[in-house]
C-alpha cells in the first residue's frame, strides 16, 4: 500500500513537493482507510513537540500534536477537568489525556476528495503553532502543579 491509494494524501504530498516543504516523513498504514501519516515536529516555548497529520479515505483529516508524556496518575482527574475547560474555550482544538499519561491536541478537518485543500492544512498548522505559543506554558504549569 502506498500514498497513491489515497487521493488526499497524494495531493498533500504533491503540495509539499511543489512548495519545497521537506519537514515531513510519511508512513502508510495497512488499514481499512488507507491512512497516510505525515510526521513532523512543532516548536513552541523552546520545546519540540511531535506532530502528525493523519490523512485517510474517511472525510476526516486529523492534525495531532503530542503535548506531554508521562503525566503522573495522581494528576489525571485534575488535568482532565482542566483540558475539558480548554476544549470548551477553543472550539477548533480538542485536548485529551490518554490512559498512558500522554496529553494530545487534535484538530479535525472534514474533507471529501474533491474539497481537500492542502493550503488550508498549512494555514491550520500556522494557527496551531500560534495557539500553542499562547497556551502551552499554562498547560505545562498545570501538568506539573503540586497536588494539595
Q: Which grid coordinates are listed for 80?
A: 482532565
pTM of the model: 0.92
Give the tens place of pLDDT for each residue, 88-104: 999 999 999 999 999 99
Give the tens place of pLDDT for each residue, 108-138: 999 988 889 999 999 999 999 999 999 999 9
pLDDT of the residue at 2? 61
Q: How many residues does the chain have?
A: 148
Percent of the chain whose pLDDT exceeds 90: 86
Amino acid at each position: 500500500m502506498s500514498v497513491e491509494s489515497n487521493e488526499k494524501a497524494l495531493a498533500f504530498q504533491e503540495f509539499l513537493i511543489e512548495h519545497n516543504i521537506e519537514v515531513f516523513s510519511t508512513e502508510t498504514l495497512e488499514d481499512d482507510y488507507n491512512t497516510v501519516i505525515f510526521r513532523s515536529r512543532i516548536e513552541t516555548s523552546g520545546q519540540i513537540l511531535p506532530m502528525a497529520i493523519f490523512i485517510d479515505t474517511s472525510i476526516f483529516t486529523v492534525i495531532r500534536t503530542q503535548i506531554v508524556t508521562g503525566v503522573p496518575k495522581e494528576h489525571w482527574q485534575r488535568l482532565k477537568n482542566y483540558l475539558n475547560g480548554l476544549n470548551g474555550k477553543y472550539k477548533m482544538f480538542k485536548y485529551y489525556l490518554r490512559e498512558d499519561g500522554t496529553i494530545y491536541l487534535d484538530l479535525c478537518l472534514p474533507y471529501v476528495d474533491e474539497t481537500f485543500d492542502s493550503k488550508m492544512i498549512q494555514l491550520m498548522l500556522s494557527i496551531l503553532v500560534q495557539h500553542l505559543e499562547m497556551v502551552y506554558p499554562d498547560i505545562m504549569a498545570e501538568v506539573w502543579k503540586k497536588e494539595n
